[in-house]
Amino acid sequence: MAIATEESTGFAQKLDAYFSISARGSSFGQEVRGGLTTFFTMAYIVVLNPLILGFVPDKAGNYLGGGTEPNLGMIAAATALIAGVLTVSMGAYAKFPLALATGLGLNAFVAYGLVGSGALSWPEAMGLIVLEGVLVLILVLTKLRLSFLVAVPMALKKAIAAGIGLFLAFIAFWDSRLVNDPGSDAVPSQFGQGGAINTWPTLLFVVGIVVGGILLLRKVKGALLISIVGVTVLAFIIEAIAKVGSVQDNPSGWALVVPTFKDQDWSFSPDLGLLGQVSVFGAFTSGPAVLTVLLLIFSLFVVDFFDTMGTMTAVGEEAHLNDEVGVPANSQEILIVDSIGAIVGGAGGVSSNTAYIESASGVGDGARTGLASVVTGLGFLVAVFLSPLANLVPFEAATPVLVLVGLMMLSGVVDIDWKDYGIAIPAFLTMIVMPFGYSIAAGIGLGFIAYVILQSAKGDAKEVKPLMWVAAGAFAVYFALPALQTALGL
C-alpha cells in the first residue's frame, strides 16, 4: 500500500513539474475545474458545426460526407474527435490553457461562400483549408508569425484582449436573445423581444449572470463551473414543467440545445467516415480560375493567421502568462499546434480548427496550465462516443459565463494612454469593431491600419515596426478583396 502511495505521489510530482502547476500558482483540482468549464462553455460546437456544414449541398448535389442526405452524426463525431485530439495536443505540447475546435465564421465561409455558391465541391473546399494551414505552418516554423506578434504595440495587445472580451459578451447576449433582431429596418437590434424579457430561456440567461456574479463576488472556488451546472439543472426543471421546446418549434424556445434526456441517442458507435474526404489540389483543376482560388486561400489565411494571435494574447493576459511585451508563454508551440489545426480540420472534413476564446472561461475559473486543455480535450473525446453529453447544456446556461469572462478581459484598458489619440483611436477601433463587426480579424485589421496611418501623421512613422506595415497592408488588401474580385470579374 505504501509503495502504491509513493508511486502515485511520484507521478503527481512529475505531472506538476511537467505542466508547471505549482509554479503558476495553480492546483490539480483548479486545472480540472477550469478544463471542465471550458469544455461545457464550448461543447456547443459539436452540435452547431453539423448544422452549419451539414445542410449545404455542393455543386454536384452532394452533402458533406457524401450522398444526397445530410450526415449530421458523421460531422458531429469528426468535429468532437478533431477538437479533442488538437486540444489535448495543445495542453501536452504547448502547455497552455487554450482549447481548439472548428472555427465559427470560417466554417460558415466554407459552407456558404465556397460550397454553397456552387464554386467548389466539399472535398475541394476542404483542400483549400489544408493548403491555407500549410502556409500558416510554414510561417510559424520560420518564426515569422511569432515576429508579427512581438511587433504589435502593447497598447494594441491590451485593446485586442478587451475587444475580444466585448465580443464574447455580445455573442452571449445575441445567442441568449437578450439582444435580439427586431425583424424590421427601423433599428438593427433590440432588447429582448419587443423590449422585454418574456421568454424562459432569456430569463434563465439573466439568472445565470446574477448567480455567476454573486459567486465571483463571494470568491467561491469554481464559480463559473458551478454557475453552468446549476443553471443547467434549472433549465431541465423549466423544460420539464413548461415544455418550452426548441426555437424551431416555438419562437420563445431554447436557441439550440433543448435541456431534456428525451430522444437522446446514446450511441457508442460513432461514424468517422468523414475523415480523409479531401481533395487538396482539386480546386485548381476542376474549380474556378486559379486567381480566384488564390484569393480565397488568402482570405482564409488572413482570418486564421490573426484570429489566433488575438485569442492567445487575450487568454494569456487573463491568465497572467504574458511576458513584459505581451507575448504568451510557449507562443511558438501554441502557434504550431494552431496551424496544424487548420490542416487536420481540413483533412478531417470539419473545416479549420482554431483557438477558442471560450478558453478564457476556464482561465476565469482558475486554469493556468496545459493540464486544463488536456481535461477539455478528453471531454471532447468522450463526446465522440457519447455525443449527448455535449448536447445537455443549453446556450442559455453556458453563455452567462461568457459575459462574466468578457468583464474580466476589460481590465487591461486602464493601461492604454487614452489621451494619446495616436494610440487611443486604433485601440478604440480594435475594441469596438470586434463585437459590432462580429469579427476578431476585422477589429485587429482596422486597428492596425489606423495605427500605422496615425503614427505617420504624427511624424512617428519610423517608430512603427516593419511587420506592422506588412500586417496593415495585408489587411488593406483583405478588406478590398470583394471590390478587387468584382473589378477583375472573378
- Mean pLDDT is lowest, of 1-5, 74-78, 294-298, 326-330, for 1-5
3-state secondary structure string, the chain?
A: CHHHHHHHHHHHHHHHHHHCCCCCCCCHHHHHHHHHHHHHHHCCHHHHHHHHHCCCCCCCCCCCCCCCCCCHHHHHHHHHHHHHHHHHHHHHHHCCCCCEEECCCHHHHHHHHHHCCCCCCHHHHHHHHHHHHHHHHHHHHCCHHHHHHHHCCHHHHHHHHHHHHHHHHHHHHHHCCCEECCCCCCCCCEECECCECCCHHHHHHHHHHHHHHHHHHCCCCCHHHHHHHHHHHHHHHHHHHHCCCECCCCCCCECCCCCCCCCCCCCCCCCCCCCCCCCCCHHHHHCCCHHHHHHHHHHHHHHHHHHHHHHHHHHHHHHCCECCCCCECCHHHHHHHHHHHHHHHHHCCCCCEEECCCHHHHHHCCCCCHHHHHHHHHHHHHHHHCHHHHHCCCHHHHHHHHHHHHHHCCHHHHHCCCCCHHHHHHHHHHHHHHHHCCCHHHHHHHHHHHHHHHHHHCCCHHHCCHHHHHHHHHHHHHHHHHHHHHHCCC
194 exposed, middle or buried (CB, 10 Å; 0-12, 13-18, 19+)? Answer: exposed
pTM value is 0.77
Contacts of residue 202, Cβ cutoff 8 Å, sequence gap at least 6: 176, 177, 178, 192, 193, 396
| pLDDT number for residue 122 | 95
Other residues' Cβ atoms within 10 Å of the Cβ of residue 447 = 30
- Listed ranges 9-18, 70-79, 159-168, 419-428; the one with the highest mean pLDDT: 419-428
Average pLDDT over residues 432-438: 90
Tens of pLDDT, residue by residue over 324-352, are: 878 898 999 999 999 999 999 999 999 99
Residue 204's Cα: distance from chain center in Å?
24
Contacts of residue 444, Cβ cutoff 8 Å, sequence gap at least 6: 160, 306, 309, 310, 430, 475
Q: Report the distance separating Cα 229 and Cα 87, nearest Å.
A: 22
**Total residue count of the chain as it appears in this document:** 490
More confident position, 349 or 162: 349
Decide if pLDDT at 222 tops 90: no
| pLDDT number for residue 401 | 83
Average pLDDT over residues 442-452: 93
| pLDDT number for residue 157 | 85
Other residues' Cβ atoms within 10 Å of the Cβ of residue 192 = 17
| pLDDT number for residue 398 | 79
Decide if pLDDT at 483 tops 60: yes
Decide if pLDDT at 448 tops 70: yes
Tens of pLDDT, residue by residue over 44-68, are: 788 778 878 988 899 989 999 998 8
Please write down the long-range contacts of 452-458, taking CB distance under 8 Å and 24 or more positions apart: 454/421, 454/422, 454/423, 454/425, 454/426, 455/422, 457/422, 458/422
pLDDT > 90: percent of the chain: 44
Decide if pLDDT at 8 tops 70: no
